[in-house]
Structure 1
């Protein structure tokens, strides 16, 4: 029994968040839940996976359900400032006292499971704590974001009312596989028998083919975002985005494809179009839940996603000075840097990518936008994951001659190993040049810099 949250969190982190691709089942997870009273059987879920956009889609759908008066839980990762952020009800993080209560219950359950075999990991323990909390608080709906992959993820012990698969790219290749096909099979593993599945926009055609075959095998109605929606971005700027959205929830090759079209005007404080597209994906998810006989109201003529409906460090602009985005895949980084090149006349780039990412592909993908920055600093991706910033620095250096030929504007490229030192130097230079400091890449880098900026830097300059 832990008397304080600090000691309880130390216990949570005793074993890392290992994901066992070749494990035959989620035996440890199932054992934990059994000794916790099987809270996963008492709540309705939406399960969300993907390579890009799963966090903002999860947050958006939870927001939409809450706006309909449904008591809605959200389990997501990673956190930015505290572990409490991973477990929310109606956008409010779990309190320290309530967190301590459910961790103590999971600790007791884990002791029973440890006597029967291997010890549960961090991710298994915190997900069990989340499920206990959602059950205790009588949540009507819980949106669950997958940790990594899907098929062998610890969250894949739930039976949802809807599964959502966002855009799939190469990621976590050492765990999920080194091809789009392998990764898609892992992601499609969240599809359950008879449960409708929604597939977001995809870059690779093979994703659709694999998901379609899996859905057919599981006799699950399949909804394709690009077939069920039409949208148009009307306005984009520093104040947000306005768009129109038409939603027609027709299942792919369904027996009855008659569905009413809902026309909605979407206003969002999000700055990036792909985040608004994730909000539209969540909106379609809501319409599908309604179609499948759940007590969901019709879509309103106007939808507004305020800043509170956004996740921190996902296209977040603080005081018109610091721009944070945990974009870390080639496509998402390209989207973010394209936005910065359009709307920030003066900007500095601080970039940190984890060691398991493909630095050469990232360098090639973002080379076009690098001349838009006066200074580019490569650093460590925060203080947790193993990394060598010179890998990305050298990859960018190899593209330097190319992007200098494409632009008359000269950018300086530097590598600073310590990310706090890199942040201080970048922020000082941005302030001197009246520029926006753009921080991209690892969630750990964005988290550390955001926390330092809000707690240390602002207190010194005020």
Structure 2
């Protein structure tokens, strides 16, 4: 099977499952002779920041000369971005081999449902690849929630919940407390759960998890954000036994908190030195997270996808000087569009466009929502056109 055929086969798996649970993933892994059992994992969830935090953990542990697997989603341009070993994407041949191996299982499941989903198969691919590569540890980002996510087939040595806000309410629950409970289910039995959650979410997490490491302006790992430049943030992290001042290759006060979570995870999991933590954070880079594409004109790319993410985007943007703000906006259909829009700063104009994927939200309802909220908005036929109009 050629690579393009393997990818087509993979993307033909269903995108949503019939019911909650990890049974389908477990059956696929059992077919693969359970490559995930006995390996070391760090499990990361949260409403926002779980991908950035996972990236930082990976960067720090690589600085400690560990061989590190990293599984995140979604990808920006190449599917192979989702599965990395020491920053190297999974080889084309490995994907071809994997699809050849699981094809009989997929055929069996077609006549004996359920068929595993795209995310469940991708998760199995990542765990299979990390085992083949004999990584020292794999950092695994949750897809949605925690308790019923496909990634919860692993037994983590350490876990983190970055933060909790309303998201995926059709799956996780209609309250912050319900969502927090679902995410906290990934807590490791062997070490404290690391979290920067606050308020009602933290109270709910404490009801179910007794052993916690708290990260924030106060807590076990104290974080002080000291501003940012056009390419990095400046952060001070104070742990129980050490303190560092360092640059961070990601921009914004929310990324400083994520850095504190990453530092806490690495400290408790491997006793990582402060120097390696500092250097790993400096080397952290994650595209699409307040990524500055251009200085003149100033063009920023950010993947905020819920109201809390849009609030952080607005907060970080307020640190920059500009005369006129133009927003190019696209979203998936299942997002809280009104909440996202009301969390954005008031621009001179919004160019609403539609990503070229089936789940994308339709243009006209979004334009109407922006207009209803007092934002001048027009529709654009494509992302390229919208960007050119904005520039």
The TM-score normalised by the length of structure 2 is: 0.91
Q: Which residue matches 1:273?
A: 253
Measure the CA separation in 2 of the matches of 1:56 and 1:121.
25
Which residue of structure 2 aligns with residue 211 of structure 1?
205
Counterpart pick for 1:334 among 300, 311, 319: 311
Determine helix, strand or coil for the equivalent of 2:373.
helix
Of 310-319 and 299-308, deviating more is: 299-308
Cα distance between partner residues in 2 of 1:33 and 1:178: 32
Do 1:246 and 1:264's aligned partners in 2 also have CA atoms closer than 8 Å? yes
| 1:159 to partner: Cα distance | 0.3
Question: C-alpha root-mean-square deviation of aligned residues, in Å?
Answer: 2.2
- The partner residue of 1:18 within 16, 19, 22 is 16
- Contact conserved, 1:287 with 1:298, CA < 8 A, in 2? yes
Distance 1:69 1:234 in 2: 29
Counterpart among 309, 318, 327 of residue 293 in structure 2? 318
Q: How many residues are matched?
A: 386
The Cα of 1:417 is off from its aligned counterpart by 4.9
Q: Which residue in 1 is equivalent to 2:127?
A: 131
Check whether the contact 2:45–2:162 (CA below 8 A) recurs between aligned residues. yes
Aligned to 1:460: none
Counterpart of 2:348? Answer: 374
- Judging changes above 3 Å, is the alpha-carbon distance between structure 1 residues 148 and 29 closer, same or farther for their aligned structure 2 residues? same
Taking the TM superposition and a 5 Å limit, the aligned residue runs for 1:8-407 are 8-19=6-17, 22-23=19-20, 25-111=21-107, 117-202=113-198, 205-216=199-210, 221-226=211-216, 227-248=219-240, 261-290=241-270, 296-300=271-275, 303-304=278-279, 309-320=284-295, 321=297, 322-346=299-323, 347-366=325-344, 369-370=345-346, 373-400=347-374
Preserved CA contact (<8 Å) 1:31 1:113: no
Is 1:426 aligned to 2:384, yes or no? no
Structure number, greater radius of gyration: 1
- Going from structure 1 to structure 2, the CA distance change for 1:231 and 1:425 (only over 3 Å counts) comes to closer
Matched residues in 2 for 1:145 and 1:301: separation?
22
Q: Deviations over 1:323-352 (max 9, x none)?
A: 110012222212213333431414421112
1:370-420 alpha-carbon deviations (Å, 9 max, x no partner): 1xx3322122244331412333322322231xxxxxxxxxxx722215233
SS at structure 1 position matched to 2:150: coil
Query: Are 1:42 and 1:135, in contact at CA under 8 Å, matched by a contact in 2?
Result: no
Within 2, Cα distance between the matches of 1:231 and 1:175? 32
147 and 236 in structure 1: CA distance in 2 versus 1, 3 angstrom threshold: same
TM-score for the superposition, normalised by structure 1: 0.78
Aligned-partner SS, 1:39: coil
Q: Deviations over 1:101-139 (max 9, x none)?
A: 223223344445556542211111111111111001100
8 Å contact kept, 2:333–2:361:
yes
Q: CA, structure 1 residues 35+276, in 2 after alignment: closer, same or farther (shift >3 Å)? A: same
**Do the aligned residues in 1 keep the contact of 2:59 with 2:281 (CA within 8 Å)?**
no
